[in-house]
Structure 1
Amino acid sequence: MIITTTETVPNKEVEEVLGVVTGNIVQSKHIGRDVMAGLKTIVGGEIRGYTEMLTESRNIAIERITAAAQEKGADAVVGMRFTTSSVMERSAEIMVFGTAVKLKDKE
């Protein structure tokens, strides 16, 4: 599965647009990590627990958009974008969205 932020795939032509696909996850860290993160804000620097959480969340969201595109019979997702939002205190949603397409080789 090709996933790209561009509107086209090099050396390929879009044969059919299959529709919008999404993948999302809402995730939070446990209270122990929040306490450590709060302490880290006093001295500054990267809050690794949250960096790891967001990296894991992005990967899961990409897995989910890939599955959604495969269900539609897509070869690729073009125009992929991420968005984030706070759903409730100490949790965040990561959503990825794009357009599922069928490709044909350029001749």
Structure 2
Amino acid sequence: MIYSTTETIPGKEITEILGVVTGNVVQSKHIGRDIMASLKSIIGGEIRGYTEMLTEARDIAVQRLIENANQKGADAVVGIRFTTSAIMDGSCELMVFGTAVKLRTNA
């Protein structure tokens, strides 16, 4: 599955728009990560536990986007965007969305 933040795919022609597709995950904090984050806030620097948590959440959301696009019979998803929002104290949602399309390869 091709997916891109651009509105087009080089060398491909969009022949049909199949609609909006999404993928999301709600991720909560982990007590171990919170302890390390508290310590890091004292000395400064990257909080790798949170970076890893958000990377994992992004990967899950993208996989769900691809599954949703496959269900629609898409060849690609264009114009993808990521967004986050707080759900409740200690958890957030990471969502990815875009437009599922059919492609024709230019000869």
Q: Is 2:68 the counterpart of 1:68?
A: yes
Give the AA of the match of 2:87: V
Equivalent residue, structure 1, for 2:11? 11
* Deviation of the 1:39 alpha carbon: 1.7
Give the AA of the match of 2:78: V
Equivalent residue, structure 2, for 1:57? 57
Equivalent residue, structure 1, for 2:80? 80
* Deviation of the 1:29 alpha carbon: 2.3
Q: Is 2:44 the counterpart of 1:44?
A: yes
Give the alignment's TM-score, normalised by structure 1. 0.96
Identity, in percent, stands at: 69
C-alpha offsets along residues 52-76 of structure 1, whole Å, 9 cap, x if unaligned?
0000000000000000000000000
Secondary structure (helix, strand or coil) at the match of 1:8 reads coil
* Deviation of the 1:40 alpha carbon: 0.9
- Unmatched runs of 5 consecutive residues or more in structure 2: none
Give the alignment's TM-score, normalised by structure 2. 0.96
Number of residue equivalences:
107
Large movers: runs of 4+ above 2 Å = none
Q: Is 2:101 the counterpart of 1:101?
A: yes
- Unmatched runs of 5 consecutive residues or more in structure 1: none
C-alpha distance in 2 between matches for 1:9 and 1:67 = 19
C-alpha offsets along residues 19-62 of structure 1, whole Å, 9 cap, x if unaligned?
00000000112222212211211110000100000000000000
